[in-house]
Structure 1
Amino acid sequence: MTRDEFNRFCGAMKATSHVVQWGNADVWKVGGKVFALCGWNDGADAFTFKVGDVAFEVLPEQPGIRPAPYLASRGMKWVQVYEAGAMSEASLREHIEASYQMAVVKLTKKLRAELGV
């Protein structure tokens, strides 16, 4: 997945917003909550997203995937795919969608209704 493909994929999800921050990272949010970003890899593209407990234990054991810099060190369960080919594009899309859903669930009922998610 390229950075442009990542941005198109995240932008196609309902009620998302995009900002560029934190050292030229593409940051995607739903209802103000971050669910995915691309950047933070010494100028090379890397994809960072929230995962569940099991995925946080298993995924970083695979080459090219690590606990997300900054986020994981603060106790958050985020991983970063930092090497091309470390994860299939289909799997990457599934994980980003799951991260989006985790962010949506954290929104208030009222905000979810306002956003239609």
Structure 2
Amino acid sequence: MTKDELHAAALALPGATMNVQWGDDHIYKVGGKIFVGCDGAYRTLTVKATEIAFEALTASGRATPSRYTGRHGWITFHDLAALDAEEVRGWLKTSHDLVSANLTKAQKNELGLA
């Protein structure tokens, strides 16, 4: 997947925003909460995964538990360009869904997620 494809796919999700923080990391949020992170060069991709996906992807070596947040179900892929675009779109949606599920009802209504 390319940087432009990832950027478009992430921002196409309801209520998604992007800002640069922590140096040059590109952070995508929904309701002020992170659902995707990439380094400035878009080499790495970090997303929140389901428990099953976390286990499968880390056990197979395709991803690693994310530094600092791995214990909370976050995984990192270390070569975005080598990943299948359709698969990445699915991980983005899953991460968005998992994160937005924890927003308040008012936030969900405001973002059109209710």
TM-score (norm 1): 0.85
Query: Aligned match of 1:61 in 46, 51, 59?
Result: 59
Q: What is the DSSP-based 3-state SS (H/G/I as helix, E as strand, rest coil) of the residue aligned with 2:72?
A: coil
What is the Cα deviation at residue 100 of structure 1?
A: 0.3
**Identity over aligned pairs, percent:** 30
The total of aligned residue pairs comes to 112
Q: Is the 8 A contact 2:48 2:74 kept in 1?
A: yes
Q: What is the DSSP-based 3-state SS (H/G/I as helix, E as strand, rest coil) of the residue aligned with 1:36?
A: strand
Matches within 5 A, 1:34-73: 34-39=34-39, 45-72=43-70
Instruction: Give the RMSD, CA atoms, in angstroms.
Output: 1.7
Query: Aligned partner of 1:105: which letter?
Result: A
Aligned twin of 1:20: 20
Q: Which has the higher contact order (CA 8 A, sep 6+)?
A: 2
Aligned twin of 2:8: 8
Q: Deviations 1:54-91 (Å, cap 9, x if unpaired)?
A: 1111101234421112221xx21111111242x42211
Q: Is the 8 A contact 1:48 1:79 kept in 2?
A: yes
Q: Distance in 1 between matches of 2:25 and 2:96?
A: 17
Aligned twin of 1:79: 75
TM-score (norm 2): 0.87
Q: Distance in 2 between matches of 1:57 and 1:116?
A: 31
Q: Any unmatched runs of 5+ in structure 1?
A: none
Farther off after superposition, 91-100 or 4-13: 4-13
* Dislocated runs of 4+, deviation >2 Å: 61-64
Q: Distance in 1 between matches of 2:4 and 2:42?
A: 13
Q: Any unmatched runs of 5+ in structure 2?
A: none
